[in-house]
């Protein structure tokens, strides 16, 4: 019987093929910045809650024609006899129940809230997207061109940001009139300056990096340097600003609609639904304003929770 330790087949034997396979280092897969950001985002329970609420609200808004018991924009479906019914009351015909009650026009509040979410989210996301594209382009141009172009654009941004947003919005809508398109245009005028300032600040930092100097030495066209090198590194900050601006646009649109200068009466948003019942709140008909107000509050809080967490993820210095 051989006592040679080289033939005992133990894992510690260097000649053992199983030992060689076990000892080989396993290469670790390196996470991309976006995967790291997602992992950091999911560590916050409040951010997950905000994201879940936001997904539910977006789904309800997109599926409004199929999940709403009534089309509140179709005047043929409204019955004045059903006006100001308390929550849980059946309609006159007994076909369905108004779970959240009705307003003064006989509009089902549950359906009105779901359809109102479509308008509020569409106005908020649409205005933020257009303002983001416009502001980002102007901010990148100001940072890369410098000189008089930079000074002129930034003084315009400072001038616009020096006025209260609600005052500027009221002045614009008083001139152009109410309507969804006019509200979006007004919000774009108010929001692009935030994107321009953020894009300019990030572009100035990135333009001093070594990779930009290397691209210039290779005689790469300026537009390719801006769009292919500087812009991708500015996107995290712009995404955070865009998320917060969506919540701001929804709130501002609701304020304008509450004041009577927002969306038309035939297509009410959450702000207009609140306006329809605020005069009767103290008379016991609280549901007409309270339920749309709660829907608006949940929407804005959900977006802000997501936006605040994105800001912490993309700026580690703000993490607690």
CATH (domain of 227): 1.10.3720.10
**What confidence category does residue 61 fall into, taking pLDDT thresholds of 50, 70 and 90?**
very high
**What confidence category does residue 69 fall into, taking pLDDT thresholds of 50, 70 and 90?**
confident
Q: Which residues constitute the domain of residue 132?
A: 44-58+108-314
Contact 243, 198 (CB under 8 A): no
Q: Please list, in sequence order, all residues whose beta carbon lies within 8 angstroms of the beta carbon of residue 91, skipping any fewer than 6 positions away.
A: 79, 82, 85, 97, 98
Count Cβ atoms below 10 Å from residue 306 Cβ, excluding itself.
Answer: 25
**For residue 215, is it within any domain?**
yes
**For residue 64, is it within any domain?**
no
**What confidence category does residue 2 fall into, taking pLDDT thresholds of 50, 70 and 90?**
very low
Q: pTM (2 decimals)?
A: 0.83
Contact 243, 208 (CB under 8 A): no
Please state the φ and ψ torsions of residue 211, each to the nearest 5 degrees: -65, -30
**What confidence category does residue 235 fall into, taking pLDDT thresholds of 50, 70 and 90?**
confident
Find tokens 């936006």 and name the residue.
307
Mean of pLDDT values over 103-129: 91
**For residue 245, is it within any domain?**
yes
139-168 pLDDT, tens digit per residue, is 998 988 888 989 999 999 999 989 899 999
**For residue 34, is it within any domain?**
no
Please state the φ and ψ torsions of residue 89, each to the nearest 5 degrees: -90, 140
For residues 196 and 132, give the distance between their C-alpha atoms in angstroms, rounded to a whole number. 8
Two tokens, residue 81 = 């006899």
The residue among 166 and 318 whose pLDDT is bigger is 166
**For residue 230, is it within any domain?**
yes
Please count the structural domains in the chain: 1
Cβ neighbourhood burial of 250 (10 Å; 0-12, 13-18, 19+)? buried
Two tokens, residue 223 = 């537009």
For residues 217 and 138, give the distance between their C-alpha atoms in angstroms, rounded to a whole number. 25
Q: Does residue 29 have a pLDDT over 80?
A: no
Q: What pLDDT does 25 receive?
A: 54
For residues 131 and 185, give the distance between their C-alpha atoms in angstroms, rounded to a whole number. 9
Average pLDDT across the chain, whole number = 83
**For residue 77, is it within any domain?**
no
**What is the per-residue DSSP string for 211-266?**
HHHHHHHTT--HHHHIIIIIHHHHHHHHHHHHHHHHHHHHHHHHHHHHTTSSS-TT
Percent of the chain at pLDDT > 90 equals: 38
**What confidence category does residue 75 fall into, taking pLDDT thresholds of 50, 70 and 90?**
confident
Q: What pLDDT does 5 receive?
A: 47
For residues 79 and 76, give the distance between their C-alpha atoms in angstroms, rounded to a whole number. 8
Contact 61, 112 (CB under 8 A): no
Q: Please list, in sequence order, all residues whose beta carbon lies within 8 angstroms of the beta carbon of residue 16, skipping any fewer than 6 positions away.
A: 9, 10
Q: Does residue 185 have a pLDDT over 90?
A: yes
**For residue 206, is it within any domain?**
yes
Adjacent-strand bridge partners of 108: 102
């Amino acid at each position: 019987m051989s006592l040679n330790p080289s033939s005992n087949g133990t894992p510690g034997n260097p000649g053992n093929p199983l030992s060689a396979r076990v000892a080989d280092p396993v290469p670790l897969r390196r996470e991309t910045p976006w995967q790291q950001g997602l992992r950091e985002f999911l560590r916050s329970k409040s951010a997950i809650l905000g994201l879940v609420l936001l997904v539910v609200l977006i789904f309800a808004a997109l599926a409004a024609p199929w999940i709403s018991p009534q089309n509140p924009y179709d005047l043929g479906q409204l019955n004045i006899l059903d006006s100001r019914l308390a929550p849980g009351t059946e309609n006159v015909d007994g076909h369905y129940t108004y779970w959240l009650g009705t307003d003064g026009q006989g509009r089902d509040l549950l359906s009105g809230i779901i359809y109102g979410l479509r308008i509020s989210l569409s106005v908020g996301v649409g205005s933020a997207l257009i303002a983001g594209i416009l502001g980002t382009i102007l901010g990148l141009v100001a940072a890369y061109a410098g000189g008089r172009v930079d000074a002129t654009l930034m003084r315009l941004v400072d001038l616009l940001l020096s006025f209260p947003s609600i005052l500027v919005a009221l002045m614009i809508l008083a001139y152009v009139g109410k309507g969804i398109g006019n509200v979006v245009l007004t919000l774009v005028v108010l929001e692009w300056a935030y994107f321009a300032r953020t894009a300019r600040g990030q572009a100035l930092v990135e333009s001093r990096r070594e990779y930009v100097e290397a691209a210039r030495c290779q005689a790469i066209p300026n537009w390719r340097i801006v769009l292919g090198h500087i812009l991708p590194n500015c996107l995290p900050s712009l995404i955070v600003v865009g998320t917060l601006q969506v919540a701001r646009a929804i709130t501002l649109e609701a304020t304008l609609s509450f004041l009577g200068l927002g969306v038309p009466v035939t297509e009410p948003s959450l702000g207009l639904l609140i306006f329809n019942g605020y005069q009767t709140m103290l008379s016991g008909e609280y549901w007409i304003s309270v339920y749309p107000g709660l829907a608006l509050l949940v929407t804005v809080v959900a977006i802000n929770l997501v936006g605040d967490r994105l800001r912490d993820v993309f700026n580690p210095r703000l993490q607690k």
